[in-house]
């Protein structure tokens, strides 16, 4: 338990207590979830605005509980990070996503880049790099089609360890994207030194990009800065044509969002890609 749980009880706060109970319950239920095949990976396509085709997918985990409820990652990833279970879950996610990439290619789809979310706790795990190597070997994925997404906020903690690990992984041909970009505090000079390939503009800037001049300016600056630094830029959370039009106008490279497709089962994604492109 965290050292501050004591403090929470000393100044008893019923809401806090409920939250803690819920989290402990999630941790307990998570124990059997992987063994019982309750975790499912969904995939959301990423669309290239330069070539007008689907170019990749992001793998997003879902927890299908035996009682029929589907739990969003937002409701169990934080607990899994606290308990350390995220390491086990993350290894499964990485392996499953790589296997799926190989399978789609064998089924005749053009090779898709598959992006996998990596949490801080996984990165700190001493076996992380080895596990990534092993997974590439055992699944046979071409590493150039594997992308790791790390959040901007992760880069402020233990930065040197990160930079070394990221550099090692990129030597294999893996690409790295900075997720939720714009919400953290990374400075320009810092970004320039980081071994990354892509920045992913956070959804909060895309939501009003067509109506709010401030948001549009930020998005425009991120795209310009990214291109100056030789990085690709992808926008997340694109929900309509107007937002897409602005992103095309600003020179954004790629987009991902409900306007193109929601996260879906691997087979549905295959069907979508076999149908004509949008």
Of 40, 71, 41, 56, the residue nearest 260 (C-alpha): 56
Q: Which stretch binds ligand C2E (CB under 6 A): 3-11, 161-169, 183-191, 231-239?
A: 231-239
Q: Is 179 in the site for Ca ion (CB under 5 A)?
A: yes
Q: How far is the CB of 152 from ligand C2E (least distance, A)?
A: 11
Site string for ligand C2E, 146-185 (x = CB under 6 A): ---------------------------------xx-----
Which residue in 56, 143, 226, 257 binds ligand C2E (CB under 6 A)?
Answer: 257
With tokens 């501050």, the residue in question is 4
Q: Which residues contact 118 (CB under 8 A, 6 or more apart)?
A: 90, 148, 149, 150
- From the list ligand C2E, Ca ion, none, pick the one residue 23 interacts with, judged by a Cβ distance below 5 to 8 Å according to partner type: none
3-state SS string over 84-144? Answer: CHHHHHHHHHHHHHHHHHHHHHHCCCCCCEEEEECCHHHHHCCCHHHHHHHHHHHHCCCHH
With tokens 């600003």, the residue in question is 250
What is the DSSP track for 159-224?
A: HHHHHHHHHHHHHTT-EEEEEEETSS---HHHHHHS--SEEEE-HHHHTTTTT-HHHHHHHHHHHH
Number of residues binding to ligand C2E, judged by CB under 6 A: 21
Q: Is 119 in the site for ligand C2E (CB under 6 A)?
A: yes
For Ca ion, which is the closer residue by CB, 99 or 180? 180
With tokens 């069907």, the residue in question is 271
- From the list ligand C2E, Ca ion, none, pick the one residue 190 interacts with, judged by a Cβ distance below 5 to 8 Å according to partner type: none
- From the list Ca ion, ligand C2E, none, pick the one residue 44 interacts with, judged by a Cβ distance below 5 to 8 Å according to partner type: ligand C2E
What is the DSSP track for 39-67?
A: EEEEEEEEEETTTTEEEEEEEEEEEE-TT
- From the list ligand C2E, Ca ion, none, pick the one residue 72 interacts with, judged by a Cβ distance below 5 to 8 Å according to partner type: ligand C2E
For ligand C2E, which is the closer residue by CB, 191 or 255? 255
Q: Is 83 in the site for ligand C2E (CB under 6 A)?
A: no
Q: Among residue numbers 111 through 130, which ones bind Ca ion (CB under 5 A)?
A: 117
Is the separation of the CB atoms in 100 and 266 below 8 Å? yes
Q: Is 93 in the site for ligand C2E (CB under 6 A)?
A: yes
Which residue in 19, 52, 72, 217 binds ligand C2E (CB under 6 A)?
Answer: 72
* Contact footprint for Ca ion (CB under 5 A): 117, 149, 179-180, 236
């Amino acid at each position: 338990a965290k050292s501050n749980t004591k403090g929470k009880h000393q100044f008893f706060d019923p809401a806090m207590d409920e939250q803690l109970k819920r989290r402990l319950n999630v941790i307990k239920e998570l124990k059997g979830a992987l063994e019982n095949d309750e975790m499912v990976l969904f995939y959301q396509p990423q669309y290239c605005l330069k070539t007008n085709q689907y170019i990749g997918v992001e793998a997003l985990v879902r927890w299908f509980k035996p009682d029929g409820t589907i739990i969003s990652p937002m409701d169990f990833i934080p607990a899994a990070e606290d308990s350390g279970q995220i390491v086990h879950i993350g290894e499964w996610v990485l392996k499953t996503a790589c296997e799926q990439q190989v399978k789609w290619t064998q089924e005749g789809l053009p090779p898709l880049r598959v992006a996998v979310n990596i949490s801080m706790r996984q990165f700190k795990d001493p076996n992380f790099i080895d596990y990534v190597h092993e997974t590439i070997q055992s699944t046979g994925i071409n590493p150039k089609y594997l992308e790791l997404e790390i959040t901007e906020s992760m880069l402020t903690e233990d930065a040197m360890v990160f930079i070394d690990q990221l550099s090692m992984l990129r030597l294999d041909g893996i690409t790295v994207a900075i997720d939720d970009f714009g919400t953290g505090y990374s400075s320009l000079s810092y970004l320039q030194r980081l071994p990354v390939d892509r920045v992913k503009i956070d959804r909060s800037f895309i939501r009003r990009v067509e109506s709010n001049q401030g948001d549009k300016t930020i998005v425009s600056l991120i795209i310009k800065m990214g291109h100056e630094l030789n990085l690709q830029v992808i926008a997340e959370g694109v929900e309509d044509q107007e937002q897409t039009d602005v992103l095309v106008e600003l020179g954004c490279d790629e987009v991902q969002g409900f306007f193109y497709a929601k996260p879906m089962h691997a087979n549905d994604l295959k069907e979508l890609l076999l149908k004509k492109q949008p």
